[in-house]
Amino acid sequence: MALSEREKYDYVHNVLIKKFQLTQNSNCSALFDLDGSLLVVSDETRRQFGIENILTVLNKSFHLSNVTDENIAILTGFSDQVNIEAIRAACEKMIKLQQIVVSRKVPVSFISLIPRGNIFSSRLVSYIPIFHDSGELVALQTYSSYCNLFGITEYLTILQEKDLESVTIKAYDLPIKLTPRQHEILFLLVRGLSQRQAADVLNISRGNLAKITVESICPKFEIFDADTGELIDRAIKLGYHKYIPQSLCRASIIVLDNDIIDAC
């Protein structure tokens, strides 16, 4: 038998929130209702995110209607249209992931590359469904922690703090000349992303990425048997893992659950 709205409310506010406040303050964590409204955040979340500012801007909810240019600029420090569009797309993807957790009742993990205060950082984030003792889904909890994603933080910090040319190596510096798209694919692969994850980051199909890798990139490294492992080894020896294309220096969400990627 389904819970009544009153039973859900009582359980969330008298059990979940009280338990959260007792056990989660040292974690970077938050609790949402099934509509995306924020119920409670930990002290650590307040410290790391300046959460009072976030609550004021977003009216305590994480909905598409709140992902406006003005709110993005306030929260991230970016006001140029290119970064705003990338951040908006990343936020929309996070909202979609919340909806997937609610509809499928499964946890989801991803890496978030969204700037705050004009500084890029990478965070490992998990969305966890929370159930009533009856088995009915009643809330969603998030956990996040900093992670070092293939050195991207250092590159992005340099880009923001110094007036430098594009991080992409100039053609005459490259041991083997690649197109911008080939460079993006190779960089992501040599830094440990799977083909599916790399395709998700680049917003292309996995088949298209595999075709470019095998038919265009491998031959340039004198690899003719589609051995991507050998490609990665040779690329690392030539230093391709050290240089990120500037086109990748943008907000993005990297979904870690292969079964979820195609649903985004």
Write the pLDDT tens digit of every residue in 57-71: 555 667 777 788 888
pLDDT in tens, 219-232: 999 999 999 999 99
Lateral strand order in the sheet of 252-255: 38-41, 29-32, 137-146, 122-131, 108-113, 252-255
Buried b (16+ CB within 10 A) or exposed e, 65-99: ebbeeebbeebbebeeeebbebbbbbbebbbbbbe
Residue with token string 């009643």 = 138
What phi, psi does 235 have (nearest 5°)? Answer: -65, -40
Are 5-147 and 158-248 in the same CATH fold?
A: no
Look at residue 131 in the predicted model and tell me its pLDDT: 97
Class of domain 5-147: alpha beta
Whole-number mean pLDDT of the chain?
82
Task: Answer yes or no: pTM beyond 0.85.
Answer: no
* pLDDT value of residue 235: 92
Average pLDDT over residues 239-252: 79
| Averaged pLDDT, 244-260 | 82
**CATH, domain 158-248, list 3.20.20.80, 1.10.10.10, 1.10.390.10, 3.50.50.60:** 1.10.10.10
Q: Where are the beta strands (DSSP E) in 21-136?
A: 29-32, 38-41, 108-113, 122-131
What's the pLDDT score for residue 12? 93
Where in the chain are the domains? 5-147, 158-248
Residue 204 has pLDDT above 60, yes or no: yes
pLDDT value at position 119?
64
Q: What is the mean pLDDT of residues 23-45?
A: 86
